[in-house]
Amino acid sequence: MKQAILLIFLIAVSSCTDLDGSPTLSELEGKWVDQETKTDTLEFIRLEDGSALLRLGRGRELRNGYDLPKIGAGLYRFELKVKSISLHYSISSDSRFNEYFFEQRGSRLEIGRFYESENDDPVLTFKKID
């Protein structure tokens, strides 16, 4: 009986966070909005093949007479680590990942500023809206 209870406990704990302390994709899935700008959004998306992408939504702006997404908007490949996230911008010719501070607690997510935001803080705070 004790072994069954221990097994259930371990499954419950591991479903909340990875054993290394980083959040799971199921905790991150959905849309998050920047608490200062109220316009920038992050969306963690699980793909059919089991992989995942991060979509940064930034709104649009007029550049050279064209209505375009703001710079930095788009899809990023990511790898979660303890207290950090490695990101690769999908349209970048540089294949390297860059590492940023990352911490998620409940409906609050903090991430190092990886794009030119109107928010000058080195760490951006997002709140889950889904």
Please write the tens of the pLDDT for every residue from 90-118: 999 999 999 999 999 999 999 999 999 88
| 4 in a structural domain | no
| 9 in a structural domain | no
Q: What is the chain written as a DSSP string?
A: -HHHHHHHHHHHHHHHB-TTSPBPHHHHBEEEEETTTSS-EEEEEE-TTS-EEEEEE--EEEETTEEEEPTT-EEEEEEEETTEEEEEETT-S----EEEEEEEETTEEEEE--S--S---SEEEEEE--
Please write the tens of the pLDDT for every residue from 38-96: 999 999 999 999 899 999 999 899 999 999 999 999 999 999 999 999 999 999 999 99
pLDDT at 17: 41
| 60 in a structural domain | yes
| 92 in a structural domain | yes
Q: How many structural domains compose the chain?
A: 1
pTM: 0.79
| 39 in a structural domain | yes
| 12 in a structural domain | no
Give yes or no for a contact between 52 and 46, defined as CB atoms under 8 angstroms apart.
Answer: yes
For residue 86, give its domain range.
20-128
Specify whether the backbone of 69 is left (phi greater than 0), alpha (psi in -120 to 50) or beta: beta
pLDDT at 21: 65
Confidence class of residue 14 from pLDDT cuts 50, 70 and 90? very low
Q: What is the CATH number of the domain that holds 108?
A: 2.40.128
pLDDT at 130: 66
